Amino acid sequence: MIEALTRRIWTGRVSPESTVFRETVDTVAAQIAKGGAVILMQDGETIGSGRWVAVPGPGGQGAWMEVKRIGVLPSYTGRGLGAVILAGLEAGGMQAGKQGAQLAIRADQPRLIDFYAGLGYAPAADVDLTTFNPLSPPPFGMRKIF
């Protein structure tokens, strides 16, 4: 369900080179097994999701989480639901003992920098990603300490 929803969310919104279009049910399940996920529903319809995976902290120190694939269906954007999903992901990470979160913003989505900054994330040039995309320009890394 999450793999199909994610594909629906991102189709037409990000470059066809995005790694989202190379994900499979198995790769998504493997990511969730290494962390967790949030599914957002309204009136029985699945409208958004996000996931996280466990990663080492800055400089390889500590237990952190990498936030991945937060999104809502296009008809639900602009309602603050991304922040709701992120809060759920962070709560899951904190419950699992994570000390902070990192994420990456695609170069073609710079408006998200201010969105995440408003939620406590700061620029971090040294963010190591679990999924690297050599077909796209380097993303913008951000980090938040819990």
Phi, psi of 37, deg, nearest 5: -150, 160
pLDDT digits (tens, 9 = 90+) for 99-142: 999 999 988 889 999 999 999 999 999 998 888 787 788 889 99
Residue 40 has pLDDT above 90, yes or no: yes
User: What average pLDDT does the segment 20-25 reach?
Assistant: 91
Structural domains counted in the chain: 1
Cα–Cα distance measured from residue 36 to residue 15, given in angstroms and rounded to the nearest whole number? 25
Sign of CA dihedral 121, 108, 49, 131: negative
- Residue 14 has a pLDDT of 82
Average pLDDT, the chain: 93
pLDDT tens by residue, 66-89: 999 999 999 999 999 999 999 999
CATH of the domain at 91: 3.40.630.30
Domain of residue 96 covers 2-145
